[in-house]
Amino acid sequence: MTQFTRITFDPAVMGGKACIRGLRVTVGMILGLLAAGRTRDEILKAYPYLEPGDIDEALSYAAWRVEEREVPA
């Protein structure tokens, strides 16, 4: 697996979904905001505990997941 330093998984946080640095902010939420037309600056202003690198890594993680292939055994 590609190394993502800002993406965390914890069953006790957001049901184990991919989150940013253990926060209750999912990768999906960030992608949804971007898809809805929000800018990076708007997201960072609305969620001041996020960092620009968090958005970058969320995008990288999503791109990696889309390219991942599961081959049946």
Query: What is 7-65's CATH number?
Result: 1.10.10.10
The per-residue pLDDT for range 24-67, each reduced to its tens digit, is 999 999 999 999 999 999 999 999 999 999 999 999 999 999 98
Contact 18, 27 (CB under 8 A): yes
What residues does each domain of the chain span?
7-65
Give the whole-angstrom CA distance, residue 56 versus residue 4: 11
The per-residue pLDDT for range 7-35, each reduced to its tens digit, is 999 999 999 999 999 999 999 999 999 99
Given a cut of 60, is residue 1 above it in pLDDT? no
Encoding tokens for residue 40? 């990076």
